[in-house]
Chains A and B, each alone.
Chain A
Amino acid sequence: MANDIQIEFKQLNLISNTQIIDGVYSLRFKRFFDFTPGQVISIKLTEDMPGRLYSIASSSSSEFIDILFKVRPEGLLSPQLANLKSGEKMYVSTPMGNFIDQQTDAVWIASGTGIAPYLSMIRSGTKGTKTLIYGASYRNHFYNDKELQNSNIIDNYVRCCSREQHNDCFYGRITAYIDQIKDLPNRKYYLCGNPDMVVEVRDKLIKRGIAFNDILAEIYF
């Protein structure tokens, strides 16, 4: 759980590797631990390589663990993960971290694969009403879009599409969307995604009067 310092790895077989869009994949393997939605696991392909962290996207009661990842061409692991076939071996750690939903009304903000912890929270039946602000470059980069649209805990689902104009999306980045909201909801704010998005959005929220201790961030590094 959150405070475990011993990051223990277990070797197991990949169940499936699904390409969602070009360069973005979803991996599935059998769950061998309990976890709290919002936690991360470390994954590696050999015993002696350093692991990389990925948020769990699946429900805490599912028999499977799903993760989302984007291939970084210069990365050591993700290009190899993209080529991993069902049945091939990988090493997966026990879960860690505490980017945990407080089960109250909140604003969730994500970019790219940073949607993963929120998917896990939704799928695990978290409480409270959530506004979801999701940023991506293109319309088809909003992963699990249908599921998010149909979620009954999300009262307002805003897709910020920065490079394409669509009727059902805000055209621009998350920071631009926040700029044009008249009154920001008085809720806890959760941010998850790449460092630039998290830092810029956090600064923007603070400038708009949100207390820094009402903002919880997880950065994909």
Chain B
Amino acid sequence: MDKIKLLGKTLTELQEIVLELGLPKFNAKQIAQWLYKHNVSDIDEMTNLSKKARERMSEKYEVGAYTHTNVQTSVDGTKKYLFPTMKDQFIESAYIPDRDRATLCVSSQVGCKMGCLFCMTARQGFMGHLTSGDIVNQVRSLPEREKLTNIVYMGMGEPLDNLEEVLKSIEIFTSDYGYAMSPRRITLSTIGLVPAMQEFLDRSEAHLAISLHSPFEQERKQLMPIESVYSLHSVIDTVKKFDFGRQRRVSFEYIMFDGVNDSPRHARELIKLLGDMRCRINLIKFHPIPDSPLKGCSREKMEAFENILKAKGVMTTIRSSRGEDIFAACGLLSTKERSKKR
């Protein structure tokens, strides 16, 4: 029988494990520190636990960390790591160094169910949810872990479709017993699953990014099937009702498609929709995927669009594309071919 992985367990879960094994409660915190501070690979390395405790634990549990099986490096320094997860399935994480910050874009599912027209991961279909351990492992087993300053849940999958495992991983990244990162260094990106988004806002302090891509419901529906269930107005109303305080941030992701969502009419509607909010709009270059009916728009058009928004005081940036040559850029992550080959 496969052993249960300790990596990805919260302190509360570790306390349940030590109680079940008949060990003292304080062992849980020690185990958490071995897992998340010392990054051990084997229970035997947890040397402040008695030998008997380690033996008892090893009968049923293992650390459960695993390394990447492939890495590609972009000309711009971005690295795309391939991790094996469940049986014959793989995920990708993108490490993006940029001056004084280094960001890891983590995956939360193998594939995705959401079917967005512009996304390569959608073409892969859905193979499964990642566990909290699989998510934490992307950071734990990153060779550049010590340089990491930020984590974004923008890799494969819709994180709010895997809410509990994602929240557990955020707890581990931000808790004193875990990686002790500031939640302000973590951003979760969603297409807007409203009830789960409300849960995320209530139960975490991390930043929120929302994939918008059109200010018009009918047009957004053609790009993103989720609009047929949770309208963009319901998403934005939920965000507007939430008190983000002074530190927490909400941003809107807006991929620009030539002739689809890049007109002054769209910019003006965005201002109407978001102008009274303290938020940022990130304009993103579209990275075409095979056989897509969508095309990216020119830099000039993006700048003109940005200027309309900025003129009305909407904080707007054009996000630079990273890792395009290794298919690590926004919307390009996919392990479909690799999964098929196995």
Contacts and interface: CB of A to CB of B under 8 A. Distances in A.
A104 to B, nearest CB: 15
Contacts of A207: 291
A172 interface: no
Interface stretch (A19-27, A57-65, A151-159, A193-201): A193-201
A83 interface: no
A219 to B, nearest CB: 5
A218 B228 contact: yes
Contact of A195 (B125, B227, B291, B294): B125
B229 A212 contact: no
B308 interface: no
B231 interface: yes
A80 interface: no
Contact of A217 (B115, B194, B199): B115
A4 interface: yes
Contact of B125 (A40, A50, A199): A199
Given A3-B231, A7-B195, A221-B114, A203 B222 contact: no
B238 interface: yes
A81 interface: no
Given A98-B217, A198-B115, A203-B123, A5 B225 contact: no
Nearest to A212: B293
Interface string A184-212: 00000000000110110011001100011
A4 B237 CA distance: 9
Nearest to A190: B228
A199 B123 contact: yes
B66 to A, nearest CB: 23
A125 B263 CA distance: 38
Size range of the chain A interface in the assembly? 20 to 34
A2 B237 CA distance: 13
A128 B117 CA distance: 27
A206 B293 contact: yes
Contacts of A213: 219, 222
Contacts of A5: 194, 233-234, 237-238, 241
Given A98-B228, A195-B126, A216-B221, A221 B161 contact: yes
A215 interface: yes
A99 interface: yes
A131 interface: no
Contacts of A99: 228-229
A51 B233 CA distance: 21
A56 interface: no
Interface in A89-128: 96-99
B229 A97 contact: yes
Contacts of A212: 117, 222, 293-294
A195 B195 contact: no
Interface in B286-303: 291, 293-294
Which of B114, B219, B225, B241 has the largest number of chain A CB atoms within 10 A?
B225
A216 B115 contact: no
Given A7-B195, A212-B117, A218-B228, A98 B221 contact: yes
Contacts of A40: 229
Given A217-B115, A221-B161, A50 B196 contact: yes
The 5 closest A-B pairs by CB, nearest first: A221-B113, A99-B228, A217-B225, A195-B113, A5-B234
Given A50-B163, A211-B293, 11 more contacts: A3-B234, A4-B234, A40-B229, A53-B229, A96-B234, A99-B229, A195-B112, A195-B115, A198-B115, A203-B291, A215-B222
